[in-house]
Amino acid sequence: MLSLDIFSILTLLLSAKFVPTALSQSYAPNAQFKGKDFLGAFNWETFDDPTHGRVNFVNQGTALNTNLSYADDDVFIMRADYHQIVPSYARGRDSVRITSHDAWDESLLILDLAHMPEGCATWPAYWTASKNGPWPHGGEVDIIEGVNLNSNNLASLHTTPNCTMPQARNHTGQVISSNCDAAVNYNQGCGVASTTPNSYGSGFNNNGGGWIVTWRSSNAISHWFWPRNAPNVPNEIRQSESDCDPITPGDNWGTPDSTFVWSQCDYNPHFDPHQIIFDLTLCGDWAGNAFPTAGCGPGTCQDLVNNHPEAFQNAFWEINSLRIYTPQS
């Protein structure tokens, strides 16, 4: 006969409460974008770059006509113009910023990326942000971001107040900043630099890119990166077409590149459903300010953008696929 003292009951209750059920939860395919799918699933934004970059974001029709966006059955490419001189009175060099029509909350994003924009003056980002906003309400999750000749990817969060990250977390990355509140530190956010080789820029591209995986749940947001030639890419990540098999995120994936947890930041008031965004801006608040010390001179960031179209030949995104999974009910 089973007899339990009060201590055992307490232990049982506590362990039941703290079993991390989401760790073993499986996620089912929800959406997949490949090649021309991007044309129907994303909006080509045309507003002034909010980060003050020297770019002219063009609409989808213009982007397709000028080949700044290109899609076939297998691949989707978007880029900055690398042919024209930009007059000083123009808004900036033609470039592209796209936002998904749909938004996702808890989800697994698997990006198979062949190439990211690289070079002096560039500031590319693959990120998600609240559909409801207004920013920073509902949060921002930066998955791939960097500037100029950087070689290490920076993943970060930007939020409303009262959201910080503990210094010690289970990831391989290096903590750069820990206050996610967009209103402090000039909107630096809380960032983690990848320590995996070839996570950004020319190193990433010369290596054929790789897989960037984001798992967002009420337990954490974690990012994994497997370079193209990594020996340990999980099969469910490597496969390019989604079959109908569900995926258990994190299962035998090893320690993430970066992870963000909710011990000092309540998840619900800070995050809601996010749209997915890819953009490429030039100069502006980050790339422009970092340009003088980035080994990109002589000359200014603006001069490079205006007068040296050839500098932007490698300023393009080449996406093999983006697969999205959501928790199975």
Ligand X SMILES: *[C@@H]1O[C@H](CO)[C@@H](O)[C@H](O)[C@H]1NC(C)=O
Enumerate the active-site residues: 140, 145
CA distance 182 to 184: 6
Contact 55, 44 (CB under 8 A): no
Q: Is 227 or 256 the residue whose CB approaches ligand X more closely? A: 256
Q: How far is the CB of 171 from ligand X (least distance, A)?
A: 8
Spatial CA neighbour of 262 closest among 196, 326, 190, 176: 190
Q: Is 98 or 296 the residue whose CB approaches ligand X more closely? A: 98
Q: Is 160 or 177 the residue whose CB approaches ligand X more closely? A: 160
Element (H, E) at 165: none
Q: How far is the CB of 324 from ligand X (least distance, A)?
A: 22
Q: Is 206 or 264 the residue whose CB approaches ligand X more closely? A: 264
Q: How far is the CB of 252 from ligand X (least distance, A)?
A: 8
Instruction: Look up residue 259 and give its amino acid.
Output: T
Q: How far is the CB of 8 from ligand X (least distance, A)?
A: 26
Q: How far is the CB of 265 from ligand X (least distance, A)?
A: 6
Contact 74, 263 (CB under 8 A): no
Determine phi and psi for 284, rounding to 5 degrees.
75, -165
Q: How far is the CB of 298 from ligand X (least distance, A)?
A: 30
Residues engaged in binding ligand X (CB under 6 A): 67, 70, 77, 162, 170, 250, 254-255, 264-266
Contact 121, 304 (CB under 8 A): yes
329: Cβ contacts below 8 Å, ≥ 6 apart: none
Q: Is 9 or 23 the residue whose CB approaches ligand X more closely? A: 23
CA distance 141 to 103: 13
Q: Is 140 or 257 the residue whose CB approaches ligand X more closely? A: 257
| DSSP secondary structure letters along 11-63 | HHHHHHHH--GGGG--EEEEEEE-TTHHHHHEEE--SPPTT--SEEEPPHHHH
- CA 108 to each of CA 80, 171, 248: distance values in angstroms, whole numbers, following the listed order: 29, 18, 10
Determine phi and psi for 45, rounding to 5 degrees.
-75, 150
Contact 307, 85 (CB under 8 A): yes
Report the b/e string of 2-24 with b at 16+ CB within 10 A.
eeeeeeeeeeeeeeeeeeeeeee
